[in-house]
């Protein structure tokens, strides 16, 4: 995981679950991140996925969201007691997700 304010490694042992109703898949992923400074950050990431009609590419703020023309959004929440990372627990985020090279890539944005 890398970004302008946080870098780290996702640790083994997390999990993800999904449930589908109609054409919408509800997502629930839980994992632990070890920040480069050694702090552990618990992440719960819930969201929704569904194919977009019409077969056209979907863009948000110039970011290509998916190769498959899908809606793939998450709402990650972070828990930590590390002083340097408390801003994560005090901030609301949205995530734009996509599959890339057989991995799920999530670009997180803080909501002001």
Domain span at residue 79 reads: 8-111
Task: Say whether 112 sits in a helix, a strand or coil.
Answer: coil
Assess if residue 1 is contained within a domain: no
- Model confidence pTM above 0.85: no
| Inter-residue contact 65 to 59 (CB < 8 Å) | yes
Asked if 41 and 88 touch (Cβ cutoff 8 Å), the reply is yes
Helix H or strand E encompassing 86: helix 86-89
Give the count of domains, the chain: 1
* CATH, residue 96: 2.40.160.20
pLDDT in tens, 72-91: 899 999 999 999 999 999 99
* pLDDT bracket for residue 105 (50, 70, 90): confident
Q: Are strands 8-10 and 15-21 parallel, antiparallel or unpaired?
A: unpaired
Is the model's pLDDT at 40 over the cut of 60? yes
Domain-located, residue 45: yes
In this predicted model, what pLDDT tens digit does every residue of 49-75 receive, in sequence order?
888 765 545 555 555 554 456 788 999
């Amino acid at each position: 995981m890398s970004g302008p304010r946080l870098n780290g490694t996702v640790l083994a042992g997390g999990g993800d679950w999904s449930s589908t109703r109609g054409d919408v898949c509800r997502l629930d992923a839980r994992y632990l991140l070890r920040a480069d400074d050694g702090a552990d950050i618990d992440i719960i990431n819930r969201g929704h996925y569904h194919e977009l009609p019409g077969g056209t590419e979907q863009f948000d703020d110039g970011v290509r969201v998916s190769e498959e023309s899908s809606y793939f959004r998450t709402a990650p929440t972070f828990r930590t007691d590390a002083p340097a990372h408390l801003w994560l627990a005090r901030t609301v985020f949205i995530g734009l997700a996509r599959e890339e090279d057989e991995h799920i890539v999530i670009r997180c944005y803080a909501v002001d």
